[in-house]
Amino acid sequence: MPENENPFKLVSKPVYTCDYKKFEKFVESVFGLEDYSLVASEELSNDMVFHFEINDYDKFDSDDEETFTDEVLQGEYMYNTPVITGKLHQIGLLPVGQYYVNISW
């Protein structure tokens, strides 16, 4: 699109969606975790959508790595979803985009 047709410099991003059980199994299989629950870790309820975003400028720093090693790998998942998704991005398994995880049971 020519610049004069996009005065706000809008850019597009891919959108990914999946079921929460598939997301949980994916996380468990990648990191060898047991009993990972996105629903419990983020205190989510039935019939909702959990959204997160991965950007080019997201950096997985030493504090994130420490949290991942000291908490996530030890089974402490509460509110650590940004660290988990950041690690998945760092190792190349979550590309840049918008993610919507459907919660319904």
pTM, rounded to two decimals: 0.86
Name the strands in the sheet holding 48-54, side by side, starting at the edge strand that comes first in the sequence. Answer: 15-19, 97-103, 48-54
Which whole-number Å values give the CA distances from 85 to 6, 11, 79, in the listed order? Answer: 31, 22, 12
| Domain range annotation of the chain | 13-103
> pLDDT digit of tens for each residue in the chain (105 aa)?
565 788 888 888 899 999 999 999 999 999 999 899 999 999 999 999 999 999 988 789 999 999 999 999 999 999 999 999 999 999 999 999 999 999 998
Q: Which residues contact 80 (CB under 8 A, 6 or more apart)?
A: 41, 67, 68, 71, 72
